[in-house]
Structure 1
Amino acid sequence: MEIRPATADLPPAGGPRAVLVAWVRFRDDRAVDAAAVATLADVLPPALYALWNTPRPVPTAEMTVHFADALDDGAAHGWSLVRIRTEHAGGAGRSTTAPCGRRTGASSRRPGRPAWCASR
């Protein structure tokens, strides 16, 4: 995979917010189908890494992917914009969403709409 940060929020940077955004693509130019989307949903490090100066273990205990209709036209190829945000962290749990996965390089009936959303 090739990953290019899309914002100044980088891990581990000790920044002000728990958000990471990057453009991601498969180096072998595979189609961004449902299986690839599941991979993209967990490709970035935990968004908490944008807040911390030192990485810590933050496992993905459970992940759910909800597909919108953007894949109905068929799989896309090329770059996908992936955004991961931690909404709540404390105690023994956290809630993180990855609400972006946009089709690039292909037409869509609804351009610019998220193709998928994931929670982990």
Structure 2
Amino acid sequence: MTRDADRSCPPWCKYASGHLHLEPEGPGDYHYSEFTVLPLPQLPGLRERTEIQTAIEQHITATTTHQPMIWLGLGPEGRASEALTLDEATALAAALTRAVARVHNAPGGPGLERHDPV
């Protein structure tokens, strides 16, 4: 979904108002939120220590304001990443919540001790 260009910053944008550099035929610019970083400790035999990052980004051109996207990065500096629409991010959050609830609500509970992050 797009709309006519709006140069004002949304409340989540980490930059000062007026930061956009938009040229009539240029590639556009972005609003970005602060990053949220979720460190994931090493799980021996399963994964190395890593992290997940999330942020909000919104592409703006001289004529168009695109919908905000939820950026999801995996690994140091988000080397593997994907931008999700708000509907996709909502669906992912719901799927994760359902999966966790299914494990916690299973007869006998999760079946393993819960481990706090290191």
Q: TM-score, normalised on structure 1?
A: 0.28
Compare relative contact order (CA 8 Å, sep 6+) and give the higher one, 1 or 2: 1
**Which has a greater percent of helix?**
2
Q: TM-score, normalised on structure 2?
A: 0.28
